[in-house]
Amino acid sequence: MRRHDKEITDSGEIAAIMHKATVCRIALVDGNCPYIFPVNFVVRNNYLYFHSSPEGRKIDILRKNNRVCFEIDLDIEIVPGDLPCSWGTRYRSVIGFGRASFLDKTEEKQQALNYLVEKYAGLSDFSYEAEALEKVAVLCVSIEKITGKKSGY
């Protein structure tokens, strides 16, 4: 990281950002073309979980190349200045790298979906129709590297 003065070194602070944020952007590489998409997500035990349709461009890319980069941000605020070049942005963000895998076992899918339902709806141990579980792709990113950065805090 170029700006070490903005680096978040406290793993608890990084975890808090990931816990509070509602959107994660996941970047993939399709041949020599980047592809990025937003998802609802949850992080548990150094794994990032999200769900998707089982078909589409991101699924096709992930089946060929499971390397991902992800970005999560919070508390973004433009800070005006007297001159255009003196404006700034207040933020807290996390960038990570890892490998995505598809969860195929029903129990694994249910657990990951329960994590998501708990985060977004405050419910735990939710039940799912078998047909719904068959029609959803649930992915797990094993986080290999993660960094945090903040400005204005």
Residue type at position 13: E
Q: Indicate the number of domains in the chain.
A: 1
Give tens-digit pLDDT for 12-43.
999 999 999 999 999 999 999 999 999 999 99
Give the pLDDT band (50/70/90) at residue 11: very high
* 2/50: higher pLDDT: 50
pLDDT for the residue numbered 112: 97
What domain range is 51 assigned to?
4-151
Mean pLDDT of the chain: 93
Domain with residue 26: its CATH number is: 2.30.110.10
Closest to 149 measured CA to CA, from 24, 2, 45: 2
For 146, other C-beta atoms within 10 Å of its C-beta total 20
Give tens-digit pLDDT for 83-113.
988 898 899 999 999 999 999 999 999 999 9
Residues 60 and 37: their CA atoms lie apart, in Å, by 14
Instruction: Return the sign of the alpha-carbon dihedral for residues 47, 28, 38, 23.
Output: positive
Q: Check whether 1 has a pLDDT greater than 70.
A: no
Residues 139 and 51: their CA atoms lie apart, in Å, by 6
Tell whether pTM > 0.85: yes
